[in-house]
Amino acid sequence: MNAEPETARLTADVVVLGERDSKPHILLIRRGKEPYAGHWALPGGHVNVGEDTEATAHRELVEETGLAVQDLDLVGVYAAPGRDPRGRYVDFVYAARVAGLPAVTGADDAKEARWVPLEALLHMRFAFDHAQIIRDAVQAAL
């Protein structure tokens, strides 16, 4: 049996946590493109040729939200088959904490960027496996 080798694409996403009035918030974007146009997601995107995944995370965060952070910590690598309808994607997920809730603006392929209280996440529809990634990142942070 001659199976074609599977080619994986690399992405990087960022879980940014902030706080207002002692309530934790997470920074989300609303996707402007398919797949999952209109769904909420983490800021992030494709790794460019020759680019480090952490550099991708910093770049995509600025491009999609206007927010720049100093330090990122690796949350984990998500690579389960079927996590993206476009094919095999391996996602390097990073986390950052910021003071307060800095101003953000949706840009690039993000239709909107918004700080959302953690308690509101239960009622939101997420793209890809981002609900699981958020749970993992928040659990690690608390």
For this structure, is 6 an active site residue? no
Encode 6-74 in three state secondary structure.
CCCEEEEEEEEEEEECCEEEEEEEEECCCCCCCCEECCEEECCCCCCHHHHHHHHHHHHHCCCCCCCEE
Query: Distance (Å, rounded) from C-alpha 46 to C-alpha 2?
Result: 29
Phi then psi for residue 128, to 5 deg, are 55, -140
* DSSP 8-state symbol, 135: H
109 touches 65 (CB < 8 A): no
From the candidates 19, 54, 63, 112, give the one annotated as an active-site residue. Answer: 112
What are the residue numbers of the active site? 112
